[in-house]
Amino acid sequence: MRQLIRFADYAGMAASSLCLVHCLAMPLVLAAFPLLGLGGEHHALHDLLLAGVTVPVLLALIPGYLAHRDKGPLMLGSAGLALFLLAVLVAGPTWGQAAETALAVASSVLLLMAHRRNHVFCRRCPAS
């Protein structure tokens, strides 16, 4: 179980980092799309990021909490996941790209903090 939590924390940190880069770089990339004759849709990437962010939260932070009983990573991760879902599913379609980007960047930071904190606490746990 400890290896699964460690792997899921690393996967979560990678997915959150990818999301952060995507959110910060995408406005620049989208601005270049018309010059390249491409459309500006990237919903498939959002679906992949949703899975890439959600699965590690479930596989790392919940078992991590059960192992070390510190609510911090679980609370940060839950807030980050909720903010990410709000950004992609509500803010983007309702308020536009700028609102989605702002919320998604904040959620990525929360998720990175949650996975890092969970990783540190799980390393301190005695071997099962």
What pTM value is reported for the model? 0.80
Residue predicted with more confidence, 128 or 77: 77
- What distance in Å separates the CA atoms of residue 39 and residue 3, rounded to the nearest whole number? 41
Convert the pLDDT of each residue in 72-108 to its tens digit. 999 999 999 999 999 989 998 999 988 988 998 999 9
Q: What is the mean pLDDT of residues 15-37?
A: 72
Could you tell me which of 114, 21, 101 has the C-alpha nearest to residue 75? 114
pLDDT of the residue at 94? 95
- Amino acid sitting at position 68: H
Domain range annotation of the chain: 2-124
Residue predicted with more confidence, 17 or 40: 17
Give CA angle at 61 (59, 62), nearest 5°.
75
